[in-house]
Amino acid sequence: MENFPNCPQCGSEYTYEDGSLYICPECAHEWSKDAATQEESGLIVKDANGNILQDGDSVTVIKDLKVKGSSGGIKVGTKIKNIRLVDSSDGHNIDCKVPGVGAIRLKQEFVKKV
């Protein structure tokens, strides 16, 4: 029998594999195999509400952010699609393209998962 990771939501050991996903039968949480490898490597990025973020997720900005070198900035409620998680020592763990601003790195505490 294969050894699948425990559920990140409830900690259940009864998880099973379905295609490219792991599924927990106790709490019905689904997560990708990529997220499991991120947990194993130690890179866990959580949004402002504590939800675990994964590559390819969509997020919304929860606070107006000033951008250096730009007069406008990023407004609250801006939806950002297809984020990429990076390991950064300065806390900017989300690499993304913001509409109207361009490629930028954001801190995880200023976004929430959609």
36-52 confidence digits (pLDDT tens) = 555 555 678 889 998 88
Name, in order, each residue with C-beta under 8 angstroms of 16's C-beta and a sequence gap of 6 or more. Answer: 4, 22, 23, 25
64-96, pLDDT tens digit by residue?
999 888 778 899 999 999 999 888 888 899 999
Q: Edge-to-edge, what's the strand order for the sheet holding 59-61?
A: 79-80, 59-61, 111-113
Write down how long the chain is: 114
Q: Are 7 and 69 in contact (CB under 8 A)?
A: no
Q: How confident is the model at residue 38, as a pLDDT?
A: 58
Q: Give burial (CB, 10 Å; 0-12/13-18/19+) of 44.
A: middle
pTM value? 0.63
